[in-house]
Amino acid sequence: MKIALVLGTRPEIIKMASLIRECEIQKLDFFIIHSNQHYSENLDKIFFEELNLTTPKYNLQVGSSNHGNQTGKILIGMEEVFLKEKPTHVLTQGDTNTVLACALAASKLDIKVGHVEAGLRSYNRKMPEETNRIVTDHVSDFLFCPTNTQKIILEKEGLDQDKIHIVGNTVVDAVLQNIKIAQKQSKILEILNIQPKEFILATAHRSLNVDNKESLQNLINCLNNAANQLNLPLVYPIHPRTKKMLKNFNINPNINTKKIKLIEPLGYLDFLMLQKHAKIILTDSGGIQEEACVLKTPCITLREETERPETVEVGANIITGININKITKAILAMLNKPPIWENPYGDGTTAKQIIEIIKK
């Protein structure tokens, strides 16, 4: 058995970290391919260093471009590596262009594909991630679902039950393995001069929210309103694409308040500390919905739907879209109840379960 672990974005580095560690612990024959589909290699490099991970054997240096161009470059690069290395299994996680291209390349070469976080559905085809998820699931040999919800979805889509495995989510592995390290090493609260539970944390990068001037202005208005509502600073580690769009559209983030703190993207440990100590999180990220749930921090999702319905069902998350009135009500609802929900994503042994299933 020879395993290729494939990733391409910072969230994928985090969620694949426990699988990399498990392969090391079990002394398996494996290697890492990084498509580098994110904007900056340096931003990814800090994640490998902080998490003390094996350096990728291959970096495809794809970078950012439109979906067809980016997916095509990754597909070509993956095929070349697979032909050279001849892995028996490929593991990839999530819903990016890297995941889609990796799954297609491996499937056409008759390499077994394991999709981590299989079965997630937003049922919004305007999101490119939705197409990536569906196609990847339907060409995969191992479908590793976070919960029974995804198992039911995949069965309804006609996929073979023998391929489907409920294993939890590697996000729990990552949070549990790294939160104590973050608490010892991170100084981000001191650097930003903020106190625990006395700030709002926000992230937004989805194309539906930031690539259109009206949508981006609505987003900024909502963030300003939330900061004013709670009379707290709002920390916003800004995605490079969002930063570019603010400049292109000439939008001032602090037009109604001086409470928004725009900062550069952070390493995982610093961001983990911000999530743990935020009073509330506003985000359009799927992974952050999960992490907030695990960390017992109330979350509001700035989208009209989510492929993480478990976070809503347990009471850890409210879906509002970019709507000031809905966000205002959601903030009050979330802060008027204790964060005593149960984490639905497993006990932190997901990576071990995945490797054992493949070995069998």
Domain with CATH 3.40.50.2000 in the chain: 2-169+346-359, 179-335
Q: Tell me the C-alpha distance between 340 and 170, whole Å.
A: 21
15 residue type, one letter: K
pLDDT for 42 equals: 54
Active site residues: 205
Per-residue pLDDT at 204 exceeds 80: yes
DSSP strand pairing (234-237 vs 260-263): parallel
Per-residue pLDDT at 40 exceeds 70: no
Helical residues (DSSP H) of the chain, grouped into ranges: 10-25, 41-50, 67-85, 97-108, 128-139, 148-156, 170-185, 188-192, 207-210, 213-230, 240-248, 268-277, 286-295, 309-313, 324-335, 350-359
pTM assigned to the model: 0.92
CATH code of the region 179-335: 3.40.50.2000
Lowest mean pLDDT among 55-69, 72-86, 181-195, 270-284: 55-69
pLDDT for 187 equals: 97
**How large a percentage of the chain has pLDDT more than 90?**
82
**In this predicted model, what pLDDT tens digit does every residue of 266-325 receive, in sequence order?**
989 999 999 999 999 999 999 999 999 999 999 999 999 999 999 999 999 999 999 999
pLDDT for 66 equals: 83
Q: Tell me the C-alpha distance between 318 and 301, whole Å.
A: 6
DSSP code for 303: S
**In this predicted model, what pLDDT tens digit does every residue of 206-260 receive, in sequence order?**
888 888 899 999 999 999 999 999 999 999 998 888 888 999 999 988 766 678 9
DSSP code for 302: -
Q: How confident is the model at residue 18 (pLDDT cuts 50, 70, 90)?
A: very high
**In this predicted model, what pLDDT tens digit does every residue of 44-64 receive, in sequence order?**
778 888 888 999 999 998 877
**In this predicted model, what pLDDT tens digit does every residue of 163-182 receive, in sequence order?**
999 999 999 999 999 999 99
Per-residue pLDDT at 342 exceeds 60: yes
Query: Taking a C-beta distance cutoff of 8 angstroms, is the pair 6, 33 a contact?
Result: yes
Q: Tell me the C-alpha distance between 222 and 245, whole Å.
A: 17
CA distances to 13, 17, 152, 171, 205 from 54, in Å: 11, 9, 35, 19, 28
Q: Domain 2-169+346-359 falls in which CATH fold? A: Rossmann fold (3.40.50)
